[in-house]
Structure 1
């Protein structure tokens, strides 16, 4: 569930560039975790990783909760807006054969991780493997609708934004009572993550992906749930060091896959320092508080903004909404930084850029 500023951000957006006679229209398919979940977990009956209750959505349309883990919009919502398209609906809300899948789907699930046992205590969540399974089903439907050749062209021309890994730390390795925390050293755990991620990125490639953008993790040691573990309420340096090592390892993996996989165009987007700057110097971005959440959460029982909690008066002054997730205002800033870096690296790929 927790994908705070971690920007395991993005999650996995697949942007498909589909052309009509006059112009190209970006279509996005989003894979990720709670940073970009827009309601998939609402359809998981037994999931404990949920945000379908007040005060989530208090600054969204109609001020109602939608399954987004923030007070308003996700980073994915902002990026879709910058592309000039609607934010895609959650996969589990759709008929799998619906024509809307040609325009975009969101597979993101709160609690999702690279490893299938990550977030196990949430009972139900769609891991990265699960999301790829659903995407494979989608590719089959697309081929049935428009034919093998057109579908392959569509998938090959898609831009895939992938962001996973935050929960593998926050809701797995950093929980001392879980098996992975007891079984692995930090280096061993990183190696396990890297091996599994290599398998998953290769699988997405085999399903048709060529242009993939992986978004690195932000400074997880600075999110409220981790600061609460410090007697002085400071960022946890060791956690941030592990994140930096993860980002470095994934960047090397992506370089390797580019050499191994024919026509693969994988890119690593690192916004760690951007996020850290937002946390360290919030006033530079119009914020007042970056070391506590707007919603008065109880980190001892999960850190979500429950219905009986109280919220700050000016939500635009806070970087964090709850113990894990950025506020709507922070998501706007982070999406801008991410999009600028992504667009700079892929100037010829996104033809409908509105920024």
Structure 2
């Protein structure tokens, strides 16, 4: 009997908190990945707290996602068997929740640089998100010990998805010092130096399987179009995105070769989004240049609000609001990244 109890205790110890049987993900990002953090930053001007955000997600009540449905990270996780991590500021976050689901630190308006998005008052920059992750690590180490925690964090998946705000809500706005301190090339170099340091910190904290999302053709988002004289894409902004992607892809290759046991990948969906913009009908879209949720002829309205008008068919619009893709567009992007990076299902239960 005593032997049976010892065997059962040994078996059960591997399943306590789920750390030994489930791979989770930790997400670092901006509004494209935020799933509720900014809605709990009471002074933030970047929130998805009003209808019609979240209209196609669960109960249809705003949940902090800056779209009508799912984020790219949601969809990739769902299709590869990785649980959806709750936002860091979720009041129900606990050791058990973290061990079973990971954590999402993404924050609308956040950037690679600390100074990015300052006009939003409250947001988490990437350095702040890493600082919060450090606190999570201390919590988990205190719960399951260093050895098991090391295994847990090294087996986890990591997503870093920032950069667009560093351009749109920093470098391209003359109210920010970076806009006159740098030129296009030196600003991207500044971003890469900062991102390199941040990713090396994450590696030191156990991040081994990590993907950095690239930027899409951000010069073609509705906000950029409506601010142009012609209503067309801002080619300078698109060129910045392409150069950022090229530099980031190179950085991922360098870090994968340099850092022990690191598998750092670059997720590039620029081409597929650009193809939709060029030929929307081919991909089942009717509109690829204006937001589904808008305030009539008043442009830009910037955010979706209760008084906004919704398009007739949300699945036919590439963009949900002036900044962000629709659920359907996010699924297209997620499928492209899964295909390109050959993601395989994890957490199989046979």
TM-score w.r.t. structure 2 length?
0.89
The one of 238, 258, 261 equivalent to 1:240 is 238
Aligned twin of 1:351: 346
Structure 1 residues 209 and 312, CA gap change in structure 2 (3 angstroms): same
Higher relative contact order (CA 8 A, sep 6+): 1
Please give the root-mean-square deviation of Cα atoms over the aligned residues, in Å: 2.0
Q: Does 2:212 align with 1:217? A: no
Residue 238 of structure 1: how far off its partner (Å): 1.2
The answer as to whether partners of 2:82 and 2:346 remain within 8 angstroms in 1 is no
Q: 2:155 touches 2:208 (CA, 8 Å); kept in 1? A: yes
| Residue 5 (structure 2) aligns with | none
- Correspondences of 1:52-201 after superposition (within 5 Å): 52-94=49-91, 97-103=94-100, 104-201=102-199
Q: Distance in 2 between matches of 1:31 and 1:177?
A: 26
Structure 2 partner of 1:40: 37
* Structure 2 residue 304 is the aligned partner of structure 1 residue 309: no
1:75 positional shift = 1.4
- Residue 149 of structure 1 and its aligned partner are, at CA, apart by 0.8
Q: 1:124 Cα deviation (Å)?
A: 0.1
Whole-Å separation in 1 of the counterparts to 2:319 and 2:248: 26
Instruction: Output the CA distance in 1 between the equivalents of 2:120 and 2:197.
Output: 24
Q: 2:24 aligns with which of 23, 27, 40?
A: 27
Offset at residue 96 of structure 1 (A): 5.6
Query: Is the alpha carbon distance of 1:299 and 1:129 closer, same or farther for their aligned partners in structure 2, counting shifts above 3 Å?
Result: farther
Moved more, 25-34 or 81-90: 81-90
Aligned to 1:12: none
Partners of 2:251 and 2:29 in 1: CA distance: 19
Q: Work out the CA distance in 2 between the residues paired with 1:329 and 1:86.
A: 20
1:265 to 255, 263, 266: 263
Task: Classify the secondary structure of the residue corresponding to 1:93.
Answer: coil
Aligned length: 330
Determine helix, strand or coil for the equivalent of 2:130.
helix
Q: CA deviation at 1:86?
A: 4.2
**1:26–1:83 contact (8 Å) kept in structure 2:** no
- Relative to structure 1, the CA distance from residue 80 to residue 257 in structure 2 (aligned partners, 3 Å threshold; closer, same or farther) is closer
List gaps (5 residues or longer) in structure 2: 1-13
Structure 1 unaligned residues grouped into runs of 5+: 1-18
**Residues 243-263 of structure 1: CA deviation (Å, up to 9, x unaligned):** 111111111222222232222
CA distance in 2, matches of 1:66, 1:214: 24
**Counterpart Cα distance in 2 of 1:247 and 1:124:** 27
Cα distance in 2 between the residues matched to 1:24 and 1:334: 29
Deviations 1:296-346 (CA, angstroms, capped at 9, x unpaired) = 145556x1112222111211110000001011111121111122223x1x5
DSSP 3-state at the match of 1:266: strand
* 1:9 alignment partner in structure 2: none
The equivalent residue for 2:227 is 229
Tell me the equivalent position of 2:10: none
The structure with more radius of gyration: 2
Please report how far the alpha carbon of residue 206 of structure 1 lies from its aligned counterpart in structure 2 after TM superposition. Answer: 0.6
